[in-house]
Chain A
């Protein structure tokens, strides 16, 4: 217990299980939060500089190296942007293959986060290793689910990390029907396991905590958007991705070398599974919708700790929709459309596991990239993360440091902050001073 006049500092070496590099400083003065800074050591725009002068067709490969967890997201936003610059939209079976590849990434990334990163927080384990000793079946299921995600990425993308089969216009090679059908049995198992995962994580204890968010996500008229769509928000934004620069801006803040994104004239916003569910929940696959309803999860849920349930629901959706895509699959021949570059600006968006990922490229008359802008989901969520932490601490300054630290780490992980696109280790410092 803190005594009056006492001043304590807590420094946690790093926030295990958040991938990336970051730090948080929190000052509590007499029970009031007087300062809070969440700092992400983002690779200072290395890749944006690296892309300048490269051929337009290299963008998918280069940007896929930004993140080992969500390479497909980077590739998809990049190819969308390049096709947009060329005045094209690629649909049909090529688009279906892109969705399938992307679902592989969702399954892999969400499973990693739900079981191996976030569940230990809720269940009181320091890490998945200790959890595995008590709950071996759950971890075995998680590893098998994750492996299925990897298998889809290998089958469609050529390899699971930094897929090499993706190109502007489509793919270098399309998988055969029988190759994709080989995934069906495992997908059927995964679908049932994902439903059980929803039921499992819904039993966790959730802090009583709700926020008023401005959710932002892609929206597609016919499906739960992932590879393309319009950008919509709960505050009424409804724009084509080419209008992103008119509605969103990135600004520097003193304590972070990552850029913070804002809605111009608005403020912080929230991207990711919670936003997708809020804005597009009615478009989930039937069994995903049923799984959400069975645990009382309703679109518009505003307790960020329940994002773990939404991720599990999205695994159900990914498995069920993947089966649907495989069931009606016809290999595209050729597996790509020829994209003729032109000197123009292209905008591309897609729904990374962690949320909206925006790319913009200016292409010059030699087909080279003159300028690049990449806005990862974690940068867009940074202000919301800070707002959550400030609000969360305000009602809980009475908690001891250890409990508070644990719960703040858990609150940051609600956002599944990403690896080299944002964070590596988080140094969490809580400084308490008594009221003067």
Chain B
């Protein structure tokens, strides 16, 4: 059993960097960072792994809002995690569920993005959320 943290995001696109940033700050897990092409997600875990995915989301909540979803018990809202990625994490998780390839434990953190402009820095609200999620995972 391995504890795997997967951060998804584009470090060049403002708040879309959130998941990428969280993964960069946590040292107590096996860490992977993905930009696009997140169909590769399904290859990043084994059946008995404990997995956490962190990604930016667009749900309409105020920027910096953090949601935590147990993806083993609950389906991920499609569309919300599509962000700028080719095959969105929600789609990959549901594909894995269909194909019986989910890990033992899978929790998804979504950090609400404000802007995803190319070359822009993350907004202060998202930076604060990144710090909070990273802190929580570091000591989990």
Smallest distance from the beta carbon of B24 to chain A beta carbons, Å? 14
The distance in angstroms between the C-alpha atoms of A429 and B42, with both chains bound, is 34
The answer on a CB contact under 8 Å between B87 and A161 is no
Residue B118 at the A interface, CB < 8 A?
Answer: yes
- Asked whether A161 lies within 8 Å of B35 as measured between CB atoms, the reply is yes
B102 → A minimal CB distance (Å): 13
Across the interface, do B86 and A19 meet the contact criterion of CB distance under 8 Å? yes
Cβ of A129 < 8 Å from any Cβ of B?
A: yes
Smallest CB–CB gap between B32 and chain A, Å? 10
| Contact partner, A419, options B36, B40, B42, Cβ 8 Å | B36
Q: How far is the CA of A36 from the CA of B82 in the complex (A)?
A: 27
Residue in chain B with minimal CB distance to A424: B84
Chain B residues within 8 Å of A14, by CB: 79, 82
Taking the complex as formed, is A267 at the interface, i.e. its CB lies under 8 A from any CB of chain B? Answer: no
Interface residues of A in 36-85 (CB under 8 A from B): 43, 46-47, 50, 65, 67-69
- Interface size band for A: 20 to 34
Q: Is B98 an interface residue (CB 8 A)?
A: yes
Known contacts A147-B43, A160-B40, A161-B35; A68 and B95 CB within 8 A of each other: no
**Distance A19 CA – B82 CA, assembled complex (angstroms):** 10
**A19 to B36, Cβ gap below 8 A?**
yes
Is B82 a contact partner of A425 (Cβ separation < 8 A)? yes
CA distance A179 to B12 in the complex (A): 33
Let me know if B99 and A161 touch, CB within 8 A: no
Pick from A68, A112, A127, A147: contact of B35, CB under 8 Å: A68
Indicate if the CB atoms of B36 and A67 lie closer than 8 Å.
yes
Cβ–Cβ contact A112 & B119, under 8 A: no
Given A46-B118, A65-B12, A147-B43, answer yes or no on A140-B36 (Cβ-Cβ < 8 Å).
no
C-alpha spacing A43/B84, complex, angstroms = 12
Cβ of B84 and Cβ of A419 under 8 Å apart? yes
Are the CB atoms of B91 and A419 closer together than 8 Å? no
Q: Would you call A139 and B34 a contact (CB within 8 A)?
A: no
Are A146 and B86 interface neighbours, CB within 8 A? Answer: no
| A205, chain B: closest CB distance, angstroms | 25
Residues of B within 8 A of A311 (CB): none
- How large, as a class, is the contact surface on chain B? 20 to 34
- B16-42 vs A, CB cutoff 8 Å, 1 = contact: the mask equals 000000000000000000111101101
Give residues of chain A (301-337) contacting chain B, Cβ–Cβ below 8 Å: none
Closest to B120 in A: A46
Which residues of chain A have C-beta atoms less than 8 A from B35's C-beta?
Answer: 65, 68, 161-162
In this assembly, does A1 line the interface, its C-beta being within 8 Å of a C-beta of chain B?
no
Q: Find the residue from B86, B91, B98 having the highest chain A CB count within 10 A.
A: B86
Check A132 for interface membership: any CB of B closer than 8 A: yes
Chain B neighbourhood of A128, CB < 8 A = 91, 95
Contact A129 B91 (CB under 8 A): yes
Contact A420 B84 (CB under 8 A): yes
- Closest chain B residue to A46, Cβ basis: B118
Interface residues of A in 409-436 (CB under 8 A from B): 419-420, 424-425
Interface residue B85 (Cβ < 8 Å from any Cβ of A): yes
Q: Which residues from chain B contact A143 at a C-beta distance below 8 Å?
A: 39, 42-43
Q: Which of B85, B91, B118 contacts A68 (CB 8 A)?
A: B85
Query: Are B99 and A132 touching (Cβ within 8 A)?
Result: yes
Given the complex, which residues of A lie within 8 Å of B42, measured CB to CB? 143
For residue B121, give the distance in angstroms from its CB to the closest CB of chain A: 14
Instruction: List chain A residues, Cβ under 8 A from B40.
Output: 146-147, 150, 160-161
A191 at the binding interface (Cβ < 8 Å): no
Query: Is A116 at the interface (CB under 8 A from chain B)?
Result: yes
Contacts of B91 in A (CB 8 A): 127-129
With both beta carbons as reference points, the residue of chain B lying nearest to A150 in the complex is identified as B40
A70 to B50, CA, bound (A): 30
Assess the A161–B36 pair: CB atoms within 8 A: yes
Residue interface bits B88-119, CB-to-A below 8 A is 1, else 0? 00010011001100000000000000000011
CA distance A143 to B36 in the complex (A): 16
Residues in B whose Cβ lies below 8 Å from that of A147: 40, 43
List of A residues within 8 angstroms of B34 by Cβ: 68, 161
Contact in complex: A43, B118 (CB < 8 Å): yes
Q: A161-B35, A161-B36 are in contact. Are A133 and B98 (CB under 8 A)?
A: yes
Answer whether residue A286 sits at the interface, using C-beta atoms and an 8 A cutoff.
no
* CB interface residues, A 391-421, toward B, < 8 Å: 419-420
Give Cα A116–Cα B98 distance, bound, in whole angstroms: 14
Contact between chains at B36 and A132 (CB < 8 Å): no
Residues of B participating in the A interface, judged by any CB pair closer than 8 Å: 10-12, 34-37, 39-40, 42-43, 79, 82, 84-87, 91, 94-95, 98-99, 118-119
State the 8 A-B residue pairs at the shortest beta-carbon distance, nearest first.
Answer: A68-B36, A46-B118, A68-B35, A19-B86, A132-B98, A43-B118, A68-B37, A129-B94
